[in-house]
């Protein structure tokens, strides 16, 4: 079994992940997909997602960096994930979206990349 170490910006503890065939829940169901919200901001204010009141955004430095998102994808791929969906907020507002998609596409084992957008 291959062991992977990575130091994360948002954690002072080195994380160790041991390669396993697939991620399973307590009922034995396997997961082959990962949904990643890559930002919180949106150019619309849909009532079900972002009402006018009660929503506060995290500071930019609290969100995962491009390198951290790609690292999460790499680790997930080693755990059997082969489908990635980028969501947000509105993912098209993230300035490094092209680089994120490229990094995900270059990850061995990732077969499907999807993007949920409002298209505006």
pLDDT value for 25: 86
Contact call for residues 19 and 79 (beta carbons, < 8 A) = yes
- Alpha-carbon distance 47 to 94, whole Å? 22
Distance of CA 59 to CAs 5, 43, 90, Å? Answer: 27, 17, 16
- What pTM did the predictor assign? 0.76
Q: Provide DSSP, 48-95.
A: TTS-SSS--PPPGGGSPPHHHHHHHHHHHHHTT--EEEEESS-GGG-T
Q: What is the pLDDT of residues 70-101, one digit of tens each?
A: 999 999 999 999 999 999 889 999 999 999 99
What's the pLDDT tens digit per position in 63-72? 899 999 999 9
The closest alpha carbon to 79, from 31, 114, 8, belongs to 31
User: Percent of the chain, pLDDT > 90?
Assistant: 52
Q: What is the pLDDT of residues 2-12, one digit of tens each?
A: 444 444 454 43
Structure confidence by residue, pLDDT tens digits, 37-54: 999 888 888 887 777 777
Helix-strand-coil split of the chain, %, nearest 5: 25, 20, 55
């Amino acid at each position: 079994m291959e062991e992977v170490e990575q130091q994360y910006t948002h954690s002072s503890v080195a994380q160790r992940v041991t390669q396993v065939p697939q991620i399973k829940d307590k009922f034995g169901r396997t997961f082959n997909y990962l949904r990643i919200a890559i930002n919180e901001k949106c150019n619309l204010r849909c009532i079900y997602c972002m009402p006018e009141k009660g929503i506060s955004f995290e500071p930019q430095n609290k969100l995962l960096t491009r390198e951290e998102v790609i690292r999460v994808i790499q680790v997930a791929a080693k755990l059997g994930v082969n489908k990635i969906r980028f969501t947000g907020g509105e993912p098209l507002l993230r300035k490094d979206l092209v680089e994120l998609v490229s990094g995900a596409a270059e990850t061995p084992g990732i077969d499907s990349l999807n993007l949920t957008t409002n298209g505006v």
